[in-house]
Structure 1
Amino acid sequence: MPVEPYDEEGDPEPGTHPMQYRHALTGGEGCIAQARHHATDFLTRLLDDHGLDVSPRAMDVTQLVVSELVTNALKYAPGPVLMELRHSGTTVVVVVWDSEPTVPAARAPDPDRIGQHGLEIVKAVTQDLDIQRQTVGKRITARITLTDTHDTRITTRP
């Protein structure tokens, strides 16, 4: 089993050189689209520069998760939002930090409710979702499997 580049607290393991990307989001026009674009670029670099298998599902799910988490952070938290993407073994890790300490909770199913399904969606499509209150704000960490046995893997860029 390969050594994971991050330990359980999300810190780099000694002697590893994990690939990661960090960006502060201001909430301006196009911010959410920009976050999705950064996620796509990150996964494309894993594929092209590092030769890792990345499934079409991983591409789509990562963009969806980034969009949902960043949208919620910008909607409910005052101040900046920080997004981090990193490669960890067979997963891509999406971390979104915001200044609002309230931990979100998935709501009970309601077929008449319009909207507010983001956390339910993220929980359904990720391998793992962790929400931690921080000294200031909160950190939401989602792990998405890079490959999927149901998808054809992308091995070269078109």
Structure 2
Amino acid sequence: MENSLKQQARNVRTPGARRPLALTCTWERTVPDIAEARRAVTDLLRQAGRPPRRRVTEDACLIVSELVTNAVRHAPGPCSLTLNVSPDGRSLRITVRDSSPRLPEVQPRDPGRIGGHGLHLVRSLSVRFHATPRATGKDVSATVSLDDAGHG
């Protein structure tokens, strides 16, 4: 199956763990297949023990779509997506690394504006959202609760 996604997946297990805890997908400069990134989320959550509620999976997929799309739009080089399920299986950390040093800025709310609402969605669907500068760009991360209580 040939597409624009060069995927490097690895199942990381802690000693004694039965479920995969991490998956990394790396894209070259070509536009990534967002649908494939979303499938990576659903596949990992399915393998990581008890599957979360459908809404939680959909929220995680939406966050992945927004963060990867932002990286492709605003960064000049390759980007990577890393998904980490916490050892206790209660949360999923989604991290997108790109080559731009510019940290994301949440635009002021404007219902009349077309576009520019993605980070508002990410922040509202996650229990934690942050960006970390790196020597060669940045990491943008969001953590989703996998508990039945859902997000905050």
SS in 1 for 2:102: coil
Contact persistence 2:83–2:92 (CA under 8 A): yes
Match of 1:5 in 2: none
Query: Is 1:67 aligned to 2:65, yes or no?
Result: yes
Extract unaligned runs of 5+ from structure 2.
1-11
Match of 1:40 in 2: 42
Q: How far off is 1:28 after superposition? A: 3.7
Contact persistence 1:57–1:148 (CA under 8 A): no
Q: Percent identity?
A: 32
Contact persistence 1:84–1:95 (CA under 8 A): yes
Contact persistence 1:36–1:67 (CA under 8 A): yes
Write the deviation string for residues 34-77 of structure 1: whole angstroms up to 9, x where unpaired: 1111111111111xxx3x24111211011000000000001111
1:5-154 mapped onto 2 (5 Å cutoff): 17=17, 19-26=21-28, 28=30, 31-46=33-48, 50=49, 52-88=50-86, 89=88, 90-149=90-149
TM-score by length of 1: 0.77
Q: How far off is 1:27 after superposition? A: 5.2
* Equivalent-residue separation in structure 1 for 2:99 and 2:32 (angstroms): 21
Write the deviation string for residues 1-56 of structure 1: whole angstroms up to 9, x where unpaired: xxxxxxxxxxx9x857561001102354561111111111111111xxx3x24111
Extract unaligned runs of 5+ from structure 1.
1-11, 151-158
Supply the RMSD in Å over aligned alpha carbons: 2.0
SS in 1 for 2:95: strand
